[in-house]
Structure 1
Amino acid sequence: MAKVLYSATMSLDGFIAGPGGDMSWMTEYLGPNPEVKELITRIGALLVGRRTFGGDDPHKGDEGEGKPFGGGWEGPQFIVTHHLPQETIPGITFVDDFDSALAQAKEAAGDKYVNVLGASIGRQCLEAGQLDEVLVLIAPLLLGDGVRLFDHPGGRNVKLERLSINQVPLATSLWYKVS
């Protein structure tokens, strides 16, 4: 059965995107990463928020623009949105219900990961008790403002069990199991 993994690159001060969803800061931290390369082989489907899907792309201007992991991954994507678009895109399913999107992504992933992209969808998975693991790559910079990894004022404490910590070429990787 699929596990649900929320993965993100984050600044040391806790932001996964800058003000207005700006992802341009991440470009210099996208270098070779053996841990991410290995993870990509274990992803069976993506569960993505609409803002993340249609947002700023750290691969803008290169051959990986508009592709998951800069073109390093291909497979089914489930985009959670309140407004279903008219157009269809091969390999991409737009879903207007979080629970349905998660169920479809899990089915599509089989025994691999459903990789969650987007702060809102990550938070919704956590609140629904459906988040199994969190992988955070901490980039060595302070953004000062933007979109937080998890932002839920008044939220509850969530215990995590560390699975690994690694120094990767351009970041520090922290991988946790949600207890």
Structure 2
Amino acid sequence: MAKMLYSVTMSLDGFIAGPGGDMSWLTEHLGPDPTVDELIGEIGALLVGNRTFRGDDPHVGTDGEGKAFGGGWTGPQFVLTHHAPSAPVPGVTFVGDLGSGVAAAKAAAGEKYVNILGADVARQCVETGVLDEILVFVVPVLLGDGVRLFDHPGGTNVRLERLSLTHTPQATSIWLRVVR
């Protein structure tokens, strides 16, 4: 069965997007990364938050604009929203609640990962106990403000076990398993 993975690039001070969801900071940190290349082949479906789906694109102005992983991945996407657009979007299914989104994405992913895109969706997955793994690419920049990797004021500790730690010129990646 598919595992739920939250993979994300983060500034050293813990932000995955700048103020207002700005993703332009990420553009200069995109580049070849063996961990990303390997991960892309292991993703069977995406579970995406509405703000992430409609938000900034670090690939703007390139051939990868509007495409998952800058065009490096194609497959079924499930967007969690209460306000689906009236016109269909090819390859995208809009779902109204986390439970049905997780179920549909897992069914579509088969034995591969469901990759979560969006801090709020990841937070919901942690809170409901469906998140299996986290892969964080830490890049050498301080943003100072924006969207945090995980924001849950007053929340409880979530125990994690490190699976791997790798370094490239672009980032240090930390792959973790949620301990249940």
For the aligned pair, the TM-score class normalised by the smaller chain equals: over 0.9
Paired residues, what number?
A: 179
CA distance, structure 2, for counterparts of residue 21 and residue 93 of structure 1: 22
Determine the structure 1 residue equivalent to 2:6: 6
Cα drift, residue 117 of structure 1: 0.2
Residue 8 of structure 1 aligns with an amino acid whose one-letter code is V
Determine the structure 2 residue equivalent to 1:86: 86
Conserved in 2, the CA contact under 8 Å of 1:13 and 1:143? yes
Aligned alpha-carbon RMSD (Å): 0.5
TM-score, with length taken from structure 2 = 0.99
Residue 70 of structure 1 aligns with an amino acid whose one-letter code is G
For residues 14-57 of structure 1, the C-alpha deviation after alignment (integer angstroms, 9 at most, x for no partner) is 00000000000000111101110010000000000000001000
Q: Which moved more, 1:78-87 or 1:2-11?
A: 78-87
Determine the structure 1 residue equivalent to 2:166: 166
Structure 2 residues without counterparts, runs of 5 or longer: none
CA distance, structure 2, for counterparts of residue 74 and residue 41 of structure 1: 10
Conserved in 2, the CA contact under 8 Å of 1:32 and 1:169? no
| 3-state SS of paired residue (1:161) | strand
Residue 141 of structure 1 aligns with an amino acid whose one-letter code is V
CA distance, structure 1, for counterparts of residue 57 and residue 148 of structure 2: 17
Structural mapping, 1:96-111, within 5 Å: 96-111=96-111
Structure 1 residues without counterparts, runs of 5 or longer: none
TM-score, with length taken from structure 1 = 0.99
Conserved in 2, the CA contact under 8 Å of 1:119 and 1:147? yes
Structural mapping, 1:15-164, within 5 Å: 15-164=15-164
Cα drift, residue 68 of structure 1: 0.1
